[in-house]
């Protein structure tokens, strides 16, 4: 889905530069059915997410990293009680990231052109796509201070809040112990505890919005499908073998909002009830990341 950068990587300080091999992740998430107030007396929505990501550190050493990536997510929203077909949505990005580090500061930045559109366009994009399906995201973050306490500031431009917008990154990072890191910042905060050589537990709070361009089945009209939400997420990451890892995630999503147009051409604004989302991710060559809109795809797996 960070927009914010990937939280666990920022907390741990690990980067793709620590490994000159391609990093590959694949995962699946499921969000249960929830009543959607404002969209009708019996309206409900549920979601499935599939994603895959490849990241390649083109050049890396102790002080510099340049990496490129290929990130893709398929999202399916399933409805009942509203006049809309289920929506199959696709999100593809090609991020380029660099990082410069010295003794007491680190600069991290990325830029990522992307496509976010409905299935009927995505499956034949060369013939059906348009400039409206493309969008751009990016971020710059600076860390200043020693490893025990550091200031974080910067800015990001992405769709984490339901539409493309620029927002600040500001906060503090702490490392009270060799295996414990905390991030108190806007818009992503959390804590990571590496309790063994193979396992880490991460708790985080982050925005989970996004926006796609949807084209109707007859290609006669289109609309922007916007979702908003805040996820409080718990991850357990375990290294199975030297290069293989697994991540299990449970997140509770609140402050949810869906804005779409139904099959009759009528606008629908619904507010789904708070609901859990569970995910599993497997990674090769690096720590896997559970995908959330904006939070996973718009950053490099580190």
The answer to whether 253 and 269 are in contact (CB under 8 A) is no
Strands (DSSP E) contained in the chain are: 23-37, 44-60, 64-80, 87-93, 96-101, 105-118, 134-146, 149-158, 165-177, 180-186, 189-193, 199-207, 210-215, 222-239, 244-261, 267-272, 275-284
State how far the Cα of 33 lies from the Cα of 276, in Å rounded to an integer: 9
**Strand pairing class (96-101; 105-118):** antiparallel
For residues 19 and 42, give the distance between their C-alpha atoms in angstroms, rounded to a whole number.
51
Domain presence at residue 133: yes
CA pair distance 17, 150, nearest whole angstrom: 21
Residue spans of the chain under pLDDT 70:
1-21, 286-302
Task: Indicate the number of domains in the chain.
Answer: 1
Instruction: Give how far Cα 139 sits from Cα of 94, 229, 254, 270, 296, Å.
Output: 14, 20, 25, 30, 13
In angstroms, the CA 97 to CA 302 distance is 10
User: Phi, psi (5° rounding) for residue 125?
Assistant: -65, -35
249 occurs within a structural domain:
yes
Structural domain contains residue 54: yes
Classify residue 289: in a domain, yes or no.
no
pLDDT at 62: 82
Contact predicate 247/225, CB 8 Å: no
CA pair distance 5, 300, nearest whole angstrom:
8
Domain presence at residue 294: no
| pLDDT attached to residue 290 | 40
* Confidence (pTM): 0.87
Write the DSSP string, 103-153: SSEEEEEEEEEEEEEEHHHHTTHHHH--GGGEEEEEEEEEEEEETTEEEEE
Nearest 5°: phi and psi at 120?
-65, -25
> In the 8-state DSSP scheme, what is residue 10?
H
222 within domain boundaries: yes
The Cα 101–Cα 107 span in angstroms is 6
Q: Residue 286's pLDDT is what?
A: 65
Domain that holds residue 101: 7-284
Could you tell me the CATH number of the domain that includes residue 276? 2.40.160
Return the pLDDT at 259.
98
Residue 295 lies in a domain: no
Indicate whether 65 belongs to any domain: yes
Contact, 120 vs 108, CB < 8 A?
no
């Amino acid at each position: 889905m960070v927009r914010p950068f990937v939280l666990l990587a920022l907390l741990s300080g690990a980067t793709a530069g620590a490994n000159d091999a391609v990093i590959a992740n694949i995962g699946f998430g499921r969000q249960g059915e929830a009543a959607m107030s404002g969209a009708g007396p019996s309206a409900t929505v549920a979601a499935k997410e599939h994603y895959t990501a490849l990241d390649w550190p083109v050049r890396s050493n102790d002080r510099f990293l340049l990496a490129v990536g290929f990130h893709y997510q398929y999202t399916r929203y399933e409805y009942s009680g509203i006049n809309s077909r289920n929506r199959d949505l696709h999100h593809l990005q090609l991020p380029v990231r660099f990082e410069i580090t010295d003794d007491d500061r680190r600069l991290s930045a990325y830029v990522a052109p992307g496509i976010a559109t409905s299935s009927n366009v995505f499956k034949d994009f060369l013939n059906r796509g348009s400039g409206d399906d493309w969008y751009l995201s990016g971020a710059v973050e600076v860390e200043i201070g020693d490893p025990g306490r550091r200031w974080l500031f910067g800015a990001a431009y992405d769709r984490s809040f339901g539409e493309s917008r620029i927002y600040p990154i500001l906060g503090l990072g702490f490392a009270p112990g060799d295996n414990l890191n905390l991030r108190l910042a806007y818009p992503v905060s959390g804590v990571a505890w590496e309790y063994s050589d193979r396992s880490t537990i991460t708790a985080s709070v982050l925005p989970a919005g996004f926006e796609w361009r949807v084209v109707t089945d007859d290609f006669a009209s289109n609309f922007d499908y916007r979702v908003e939400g805040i996820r409080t997420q718990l991850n357990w990451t375990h290294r199975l073998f030297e290069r293989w890892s697994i991540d299990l995630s449970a997140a509770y999503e609140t402050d949810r909002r869906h804005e779409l147009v139904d099959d009759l051409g009528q606008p629908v604004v619904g507010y789904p009830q708070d609901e859990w989302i569970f995910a599993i991710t497997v990674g090769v060559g690096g720590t896997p990341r559970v995908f959330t809109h904006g939070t996973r795809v718009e950053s490099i797996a580190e």
